[in-house]
Amino acid sequence: MKELSKLASAVRASTTIAIDTKFKTLQAEGKDVIGFGLGEPDFDTPEHIKEAGIQAIRDNKTKYTPASGTPAVKKAICQRLKEDWGLDYETTQVTVNAGAKHILYVALKTLVNPGDEVILPAPYWVSYYELIKMVGGVPVVVDTTEESGFKMSADQLRAAITPKTKALIFNNPSNPTGMMYSKEQQEAIAKVCVEADLYVIADEIYGKLTFDGKTFTSFASLGEDVKARTILVNGVSKTYAMTGWRIGFAAADQKIIKIMTNYLSHCISGTSPISQAAAVEAFAGSQAEIETMRATFEERRNYLYERMNKIPGVHAVRSEATFYMMMSMEDLVGKTLYGVEIKDADDFSDVFLDKGGVAVVPCTGFGAPYFTRWSFAVSMETIKEGLDRLEKFLAGAGVE
* Binding partner selected for residue 204 from ligand GLU, ligand PMP, none, CB under the kind-specific 5 to 8 Å limit: none
Site map 306..345 versus ligand GLU, x via CB under 6 A: ----------------------------------------
Q: Determine the interface stretch with ligand GLU among 35-43, 193-201, 227-235, 329-337 (rule: CB under 6 A).
A: 35-43
Q: Determine the interface stretch with ligand GLU among 36-44, 109-117, 145-153, 288-296 (rule: CB under 6 A).
A: 36-44
Quick check: 14 binds ligand GLU (CB under 6 A)?
yes
Position of minimal CB gap to ligand GLU: 39
Site map 120..149 versus ligand GLU, x via CB under 6 A: -----x-x----------------------
| Nearer of residues 98 and 394 to ligand PMP, judged by Cβ | 98
Integer CA distances (angstroms), 11 to 15, 110, 129, in order? 12, 19, 10
Quick check: 320 binds ligand PMP (CB under 6 A)?
no
The three-class DSSP label of residue 321 is strand
Quick check: 344 binds ligand PMP (CB under 6 A)?
no
Site map 160..199 versus ligand PMP, x via CB under 6 A: -----------x---x------------------------
* Binding partner selected for residue 14 from ligand PMP, ligand GLU, none, CB under the kind-specific 5 to 8 Å limit: ligand GLU
| Nearer of residues 125 and 181 to ligand GLU, judged by Cβ | 125
| 294 vs 296: CA distance, rounded Å | 5
* Binding partner selected for residue 57 from ligand GLU, ligand PMP, none, CB under the kind-specific 5 to 8 Å limit: none
Out of 175, 230, 322, 328, the residue judged to bind ligand GLU by CB under 6 A? 175
Q: What share of the chain is helix, strand, coil (3-state, %, to 5)?
A: 45, 15, 40
CB of 178 to ligand PMP, least distance (A): 11
Quick check: 275 binds ligand PMP (CB under 6 A)?
no
- For residue 198, list its beta bridge partners: none
| Nearer of residues 52 and 325 to ligand GLU, judged by Cβ | 325
Restricting to residues 3-62, name those near ligand PMP by CB under 6 A.
39
| 162 vs 320: CA distance, rounded Å | 32
Q: Taking CA 346 as the corner, what is the angle to CA 344 and CA 352, rounded to the nearest 5 degrees?
A: 105
- For residue 140, list its beta bridge partners: 119
Q: What backbone torsions phi and psi does residue 232 show, to the nearest 5 degrees?
A: -80, 125
Q: Taking CA 282 as the corner, what is the angle to CA 171 and CA 245, rounded to the nearest 5 degrees?
A: 70
DSSP code at position 203: E
Q: Determine the interface stretch with ligand PMP among 44-52, 54-62, 96-104, 299-307 (rule: CB under 6 A).
A: 96-104
Restricting to residues 217-256, name those near ligand PMP by CB under 6 A.
235, 237, 243, 248
Out of 73, 87, 100, 279, the residue judged to bind ligand PMP by CB under 6 A? 100
CB of 175 to ligand GLU, least distance (A): 5
Quick check: 205 binds ligand PMP (CB under 6 A)?
yes
Q: Are strands 248-251 and 358-359 parallel, antiparallel or unpaired?
A: unpaired
Q: What is the 3-state secondary structure (H, E, C) of 103-139?
A: HHHHHHHHHCCCCCEEEEEECCCHHHHHHHHHCCCEE
Closest CA to 174 of 367, 344, 22: 367
* Contact present, 176 and 368 (Cβ < 8 Å): yes
Quick check: 373 binds ligand PMP (CB under 6 A)?
no
* Contact present, 155 and 107 (Cβ < 8 Å): no
The three-class DSSP label of residue 315 is strand
- For residue 170, list its beta bridge partners: 202
Q: Where are the alpha helices (DSSP H) in the chain?
A: 6-9, 15-28, 47-58, 71-85, 100-111, 126-134, 154-160, 183-195, 224-228, 254-267, 273-284, 288-308, 345-351, 380-395
| Nearer of residues 261 and 387 to ligand PMP, judged by Cβ | 261
* Binding partner selected for residue 218 from ligand GLU, ligand PMP, none, CB under the kind-specific 5 to 8 Å limit: none
Quick check: 203 binds ligand PMP (CB under 6 A)?
yes
Closest CA to 275 of 238, 239, 235: 235
| 268 vs 261: CA distance, rounded Å | 10
Instruction: Using CB under 6 A, list all residues that contact ligand GLU.
Output: 14, 16-17, 38-40, 101, 125, 127, 175
Q: Which residues of this protein are in contact with ligand PMP, per CB under 6 A?
A: 39, 99-101, 125, 171, 175, 203, 205, 235, 237, 243, 248
